[in-house]
């Protein structure tokens, strides 16, 4: 039911309409009221464009509105592609995935949930110093021992052995239990080892170890050092023992030479007409049964101190001993038929007949 107060004389209605009434013309009035006396207000929005569920309306300024597809409220969550607010209040429990790089301005430290090591002072977030970490105006820093073997180079923490104390300080030195730090390549991490293990487990395997028993002289074998009981050194008596033959091009002895056993020297028999003394010869036997023999001595200058024994073993024919050095005794020494023997020695200049 509507109550209409007649303001248009031509309508002729003034009072209450208690039945259906159809007006074919324009009806104007100062106001329309319900029977309860409440004013009936005309609709503010006459048309909604792009209408759909949960979309928020924005006014077009002409009594119509648009339902925005990118601005949706489902009763709990307001969603949009680019939302800007002058002020937000609340506990912010459901605000997630905020990129800190996109926040401009300052956030009060009192509004941040802090973990261990952080605190708020004068509404500003602070870092708590502890256990080797200090806080300066430049930020966080490590408290490094000046002699601890570590240093900060640029922005990197590095091992700096030049700052570490020497191991021999106060008379000390490396001990078996001292530790080394190393990278274990097989495990891919850092491990420690004692000096004893470093030596016995690694260095010793890389260094040739002495073979044989006490006093055995070492020599290179097929797989490192080798030894034999036929070559030993008696440290008490200062004697080198060789159970075999010693071959040498020259032997120089400064002092007394004591031989405990037989002396063995080279002995050779010559039969050819000319015999040049060999570097190994000591005693030369000349068999002149078939012919004369001419013995040619080596240069005295290259055989200083050398002794040669020469003996004609048969009575037939003759021998001749010649040398390139001028010596009245031996420049040409001849022995005719019959037996003959002599000993010669070089002084580095000439050969001399000594027996």
Tell me the pLDDT tens digit for each residue of 47-78: 889 888 998 888 888 889 898 888 898 888 88
Q: Tell me, rounded to whole angstroms, the distance of Cα 252 from its chain centroid.
A: 52
pLDDT at 13: 53
- The whole-number average pLDDT for the span 289-294 is 94
Q: Tell me, rounded to whole angstroms, the distance of Cα 304 from its chain centroid.
A: 61
pLDDT at 202: 93
pLDDT at 291: 94
- The whole-number average pLDDT for the span 229-250 is 89
Rounded CA separation 36/21 (Å): 19
pLDDT at 208: 87
Tell me the pLDDT tens digit for each residue of 303-325: 999 999 999 999 899 998 888 77
Distances (CA, A) of 139 to 107, 114, 121, 177: 19, 18, 16, 39
Residue 94 has pLDDT above 90, yes or no: no
Contact 216, 205 (CB under 8 A): no
Q: How confident is the model at residue 6 (pLDDT cuts 50, 70, 90)?
A: very low
Percent of the chain, pLDDT > 90? 30
**DSSP readout, 59-89?**
E-SSSEEEEEEEEEE-SS-EEESS---S---
Residue 12 has pLDDT above 80, yes or no: no
pLDDT at 256: 84
Residue-averaged pLDDT of the chain = 82
- The whole-number average pLDDT for the span 223-246 is 91
Contact 286, 270 (CB under 8 A): yes
Phi, psi (rounded to 5 degrees) for 305 = 85, -10
DSSP 218: P
Residue of 169, 136, 164, 138 whose CA lies nearest to 151:
164
Tell me the pLDDT tens digit for each residue of 132-173: 777 777 777 777 787 878 888 877 888 888 888 888 988 899
Beta-bridge partners for 309: 283, 343
pLDDT at 18: 61
pTM for the structure as a whole: 0.40
Give all domains of the chain, ordered by start, each with its CATH number.
1-41 (no CATH), 210-245 (no CATH), 267-353 (2.60.120)
């Amino acid at each position: 039911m509507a109550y209409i107060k007649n303001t248009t004389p031509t309508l002729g209605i003034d009072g209450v309409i208690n039945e259906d009434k159809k007006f074919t013309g324009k009806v104007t009035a100062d106001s329309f009221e319900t029977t309860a006396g409440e004013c009936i207000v005309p609709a503010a929005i006459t048309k909604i464009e792009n209408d759909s569920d949960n979309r928020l309306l924005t006014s077009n300024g002409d009594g119509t509105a648009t339902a925005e597809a990118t601005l949706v409220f489902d009763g709990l969550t307001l969603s949009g592609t680019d939302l800007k607010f002058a002020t937000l209040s609340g506990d912010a429990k459901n605000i997630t995935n905020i990129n800190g790089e996109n926040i401009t301005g300052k956030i009060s430290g009192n509004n941040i949930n802090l973990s261990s090591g952080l605190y708020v002072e004068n509404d500003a977030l602070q870092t708590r110093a502890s256990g080797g970490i200090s806080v300066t105006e430049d930020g966080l820093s490590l408290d490094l021992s000046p002699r601890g073997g570590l240093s900060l180079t640029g922005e990197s923490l590095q091992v700096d052995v030049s700052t570490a104390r020497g191991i021999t300080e106060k008379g000390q030195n490396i001990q078996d239990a001292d530790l080394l730090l190393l990278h274990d390549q097989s495990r891919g991490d850092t491990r420690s080892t004692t000096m004893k293990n470093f030596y016995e487990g690694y260095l010793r395997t890389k260094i040739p170890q002495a073979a044989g028993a006490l006093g055995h002289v070492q020599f290179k074998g097929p797989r490192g050092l080798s030894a034999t009981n036929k070559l030993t050194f008696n440290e008490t008596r200062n004697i080198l023992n060789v159970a075999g033959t010693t071959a040498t091009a020259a032997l120089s002895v400064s002092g007394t030479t004591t031989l405990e056993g037989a002396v063995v020297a080279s002995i050779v028999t010559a039969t050819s007409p000319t015999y040049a003394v060999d570097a190994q010869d000591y005693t030369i036997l000349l068999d002149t049964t078939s012919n004369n023999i001419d013995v040619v001595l080596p240069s005295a200058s290259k055989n200083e101190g050398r002794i040669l024994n020469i003996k004609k073993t048969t009575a037939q024919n003759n021998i001749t001993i010649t040398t390139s050095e001028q010596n009245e005794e031996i420049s040409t020494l001849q022995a005719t038929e019959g037996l003959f023997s002599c000993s010669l020695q070089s002084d580095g200049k000439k050969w001399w007949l000594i027996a």
